[in-house]
Amino acid sequence: MNTAGAPRASDVEATLHERFLALVQAAPVGVIVADARGQIAAFNPAAAAILDVAAERAIGRTLIESVRNFELDRRIAAALRQGADSDGEIANVANERRLRVRVVPLPRADGLRDALAFIEDITELRDLAAIRRDFVQNVSHELRTPLTAVKIMVETLQGGVGSQAQASFLDSIARETNRMITLVEELLDLARLETGKLQLTLAPVDLGELLRKAGETQAARAASLGIELSVRAPDAPVTVLGDRDKLMQVVLNLLDNALRNTPSGGRVSAGVRVADGAAELVVDDSGVGIPADALPHVFERFYVVDPSRARNKSGTGLGLAIVKHMVESHGGTVRAESELNAGSMFVCRFPL
């Protein structure tokens, strides 16, 4: 304090500096302060988390020595040397993140400059944008293909064709229309499942009996594809509390997926059992298998491992996503195991 009782300018400056540092430390976004020599004077916990660099490894060192991001280093250097302001997206290759970075120069009383960088991790935002984009693209494609076919067939019919061709075209129109309806219904189901709005009508359901019925509906299709389909269920009921129609959809989707990905001469087998206090539904096949890098993604919507391998390209890519959500809505779990060119196995577990 000076003799008049007012605080000295140096005390005020020290207090402001302390408050500034406290603000930097508490900020929810990454904050880096570089001094006029380019050395890091402040590096808050958010910056340490976003960049995966401990503060003690950064303070007192230059950015390129500690963080080693060329673009961030360049922007800070531009702020220090030319007083340049910058705002944009950069990649942080070290931890594969996308960052939004704003760098501003901080003029000092001695004519030099410090630089202040704000950093935000926008990786998730960019991933979500990409998922949304892919989803819209996939849905558009899945609807446009059958619609185009229907349009052409309708135009041909309008032009007049013989009765045999007419019957064939009408069959195709019916088939494509059903395919579009199935896609829309599956999308609606998925939306309801994801928002928790799907209504389940719960009652005791014998999984074994369900599997036998599902096997009967797929038997003719399996035979026409030259695939041996076998179904094993114990005589004693394996009862779970569930929505019968939704559980039937789970079984049918798994059988459909197995038949699509198994070549002629192969086998698909499905079984129900009690294991470790839970009811298990197991579907395995001797098909083309799933590569290790694709396995974590098979339950994602529209994910198709390799479109060129799928026998029947009329699949919507939603079947397994629906299986996962349906099973989880029943308090269960589903997992996939696979080996490339040796087949896959899907196991759903339900509480008894």
Q: Report if residue 223 touches other proteins, rule: CB under 8 A.
A: no
CA distance 319 to 143: 16
- Piece in contact with other proteins (CB under 8 A), picked from 93-101, 107-115, 152-160, 168-176: 93-101
CA distance 286 to 266: 6
Q: Which is nearer to other proteins, 73 or 280 (CB)?
A: 73
CA distance 152 to 191: 31
Q: Report if residue 69 touches other proteins, rule: CB under 8 A.
A: yes
Q: Which is nearer to other proteins, 35 or 73 (CB)?
A: 73
Q: Which is nearer to other proteins, 163 or 308 (CB)?
A: 308
In sequence order, what E strands does the chain have? Answer: 30-34, 40-43, 86-92, 97-107, 113-121, 203-206, 228-232, 239-242, 267-275, 278-285, 333-339, 343-351
Among 3, 5, 96, 160, binds other proteins (CB under 8 A): 96
Minimum distance, C-beta of residue 65 to other proteins, in the bound complex (Å): 5
Q: How many Å is the maximal CA-CA distance in the chain? A: 111
Q: Which is nearer to other proteins, 228 or 306 (CB)?
A: 306
For residue 111, give both structure tokens: 């004519």
Footprint on residues 198-217 left by other proteins (CB under 8 A): none
Among 21, 35, 73, 143, binds other proteins (CB under 8 A): 73
Q: Report if residue 291 touches other proteins, rule: CB under 8 A.
A: yes
- Piece in contact with other proteins (CB under 8 A), picked from 120-128, 135-143, 272-280, 291-299: 291-299
CA distance 97 to 80: 25
Among 13, 124, 306, 339, binds other proteins (CB under 8 A): 306
Give the list of residues 6+ apart from residue 186 with CB closer than 8 angstroms, or none: 316, 318, 319, 322
From the list 42, 116, 124, 122, the residue with the least C-alpha distance to 85 is: 116
Q: Report if residue 64 touches other proteins, rule: CB under 8 A.
A: yes
Query: What is the total count of residues that contact other proteins (CB under 8 A)?
Result: 16
Phi, psi of 60, deg, nearest 5: 85, -5
Q: Report if residue 308 touches other proteins, rule: CB under 8 A.
A: yes
Please report how the helices 244-260 and 319-329 are oriented relative to each other, as an axis angle in degrees rounded to 10: 150
Minimum distance, C-beta of residue 38 to other proteins, in the bound complex (Å): 8
Minimum distance, C-beta of residue 194 to other proteins, in the bound complex (Å): 27
For residue 280, give both structure tokens: 């298990």
Q: Sheet harboring 40-43: ordered strands across?
A: 40-43, 30-34, 113-121, 97-107, 86-92
Give the list of residues 6+ apart from residue 216 with CB closer than 8 angstroms, or none: none
Minimum distance, C-beta of residue 182 to other proteins, in the bound complex (Å): 27
Q: Which is nearer to other proteins, 19 or 297 (CB)?
A: 297
Q: Report if residue 296 touches other proteins, rule: CB under 8 A.
A: no
Place of tokens 């880096």: 32
CA distance 47 to 70: 16
Among 6, 11, 20, 70, binds other proteins (CB under 8 A): 70
Q: Report if residue 3 touches other proteins, rule: CB under 8 A.
A: no
Q: Which is nearer to other proteins, 276 or 293 (CB)?
A: 293
- Piece in contact with other proteins (CB under 8 A), picked from 122-130, 154-162, 239-247, 288-296: 288-296
Among 21, 48, 55, 65, binds other proteins (CB under 8 A): 65
Q: Report if residue 62 touches other proteins, rule: CB under 8 A.
A: yes
Tell me which residues touch other proteins (CB under 8 A).
62, 64-65, 68-70, 73, 91, 93-94, 96, 291-293, 306, 308
